[in-house]
A and B are shown apart, each in its own frame.
Chain A
């Protein structure tokens, strides 16, 4: 029997645009049409002013490394040690992710380092957003 893989998300009506976006190679956020607040995680109203007039926007994919831990215990789908990171997107919101194409060490993972999004297909339904050190 193959080893169980990582836990995968199950999209809901309110989050479908986000997971459709990752499959299309886009990191989709939402922005309030009234107060212009950009927010995450998804919901069909603005968490700042409660307006239901919100639009889906494509994020730049640029971020900085905000904070992380390097996990040393075994978790299905992961080979420890691996970093569980939170990045701060250029548009403002924070997001949990993994850092790829980078050593999983305190020396390599410097806070505030610039990152860019990459998408990794997990199965036919789910593509996850990861981040790697920015190349440009």
Chain B
């Protein structure tokens, strides 16, 4: 795919984030979509492509009054929206659509307008994981952590610093759910959820949504917003069962999606000014930093503990506070994308001065899927 030929021209989150019991899930999609359209001065009739997860593109298009010529319902968990952006860029380049809306909305906390999602007993997960006592992501996502720690000699204190540093970023963000500073001791004395992880190492559970509008870079110049160009993209999937990952010290999906995006963008790690790594749980930034090649294998714990990703340091990471402190509706990827767009527009609450390139890396399921988007605010 050519670089810099597609741009984000509209971007917004729902007006309210956190606990929003007065909105159903489809309305959270719509609220974000209406805000994104208002952001760039478009109406539903101007949109000819719809991509979404959580709800189907049929539901979203109909609810918003859109008649699309292109839809994408890729639903592979929280990184679905990174993958939508990748597919949308390809669709715009191929001429399948001109103006694409990507929406996310999730009543993750209040559960309004969505049903339970049981694991079928006849699925592979239902047969070979569920009988052994998992209950959702907090019980399954941290399964690789002890192996990763033993392999590289990573300490509990080092991993606790992931939460501590991200809370420092959240402290700069008025929209963040949790903003009060925390210490390593606070993290390691919080309630045990699934050893080795405690409450402050697990994401929030909140309500909210976000939406993006993409069009060709040529048209982007006619919009009121500062265009944020798509420089490179990548995606992959590995396994629906965390127990069947090829490795517990690396994600194959990360290792495919991340480097694909870097190759496409034609950049190196030292070109990156700002980084988002989807942090549903505290080990994800560690795997992301290593699988994307920002640090050597086994070094990510030390890298974060030594404050290299903290405010003012060389690699600003998860500058909205992340899923650990900002918000996490369930499929958090959209909020990571929104923060990358804000950083590229120069409008983030914790703005990285002069940032020109932002890497946004997402995970879906329990290391099941991955999508990476590299943004730039530099004209093609």
* Inter-subunit contact B143/A86 (CB<8 Å): yes
* Inter-subunit contact B248/A7 (CB<8 Å): no
* Inter-subunit contact B139/A71 (CB<8 Å): yes
A103 interface residue per 8 A CB criterion = no
Per the CB 8 Å criterion, the residue count for chain A at the interface is: 34
Counting chain B CB atoms within 10 Å of each CB, which of A15, A84, A94 scores highest? A84
B67 interface residue per 8 A CB criterion = no
* Inter-subunit contact B132/A41 (CB<8 Å): no
Contacts of B130 in A (CB 8 A): 7, 9
Q: How many angstroms from the CA of A66 to the CA of B147 in the assembled complex?
A: 7
Contacts of B135 in A (CB 8 A): 71, 73, 75
Contacts of A67 in B (CB 8 A): 143-147, 248
Contacts of B267 in A (CB 8 A): none
Contacts of A134 in B (CB 8 A): none
B95 interface residue per 8 A CB criterion = no
**Which residue of chain B lies nearest to A15 when distances are taken between CB atoms in the complex?**
B127
**Which residue of chain A lies nearest to B122 when distances are taken between CB atoms in the complex?**
A10
Q: How many angstroms from the CA of A88 to the CA of B140 in the assembled complex?
A: 17
**Which residue of chain B lies nearest to A98 when distances are taken between CB atoms in the complex?**
B132
Q: Which of A42-96 contact B (CB under 8 A)?
A: 66-73, 75, 77-78, 81-82, 84-86, 94-96
Checking B131, B140, B143, B193 against A7 with a beta-carbon cut-off of 8 angstroms, the contacting residue is B131
* Inter-subunit contact A94/B243 (CB<8 Å): yes
Checking A10, A70, A94, A128 against B126 with a beta-carbon cut-off of 8 angstroms, the contacting residue is A10
* Inter-subunit contact A94/B244 (CB<8 Å): yes
Q: How many angstroms from the CA of A70 to the CA of B126 in the assembled complex?
A: 20
Contacts of B144 in A (CB 8 A): 67
The interface bits of chain A over 112-130 (1 if a CB of B lies within 8 angstroms of the residue's CB, else 0) are: 0000000000000000100
Checking A10, A94, A106, A128 against B195 with a beta-carbon cut-off of 8 angstroms, the contacting residue is A106
Min Cβ gap B146→A in Å is 5
B1 interface residue per 8 A CB criterion = no
Q: Which of B181-211 contact A (CB under 8 A)?
A: 191-197
Contacts of A98 in B (CB 8 A): 132-133
B353 interface residue per 8 A CB criterion = no
Query: What are 7 A-B residue pairs whose CB atoms fall within 8 Å in the complex?
Result: A69-B142, A69-B143, A69-B196, A71-B139, A84-B132, A96-B128, A96-B243
Q: Which 9 A-B pairs have the closest CB atoms?
A: A9-B127, A70-B195, A67-B147, A10-B121, A69-B194, A96-B243, A10-B122, A7-B130, A78-B133
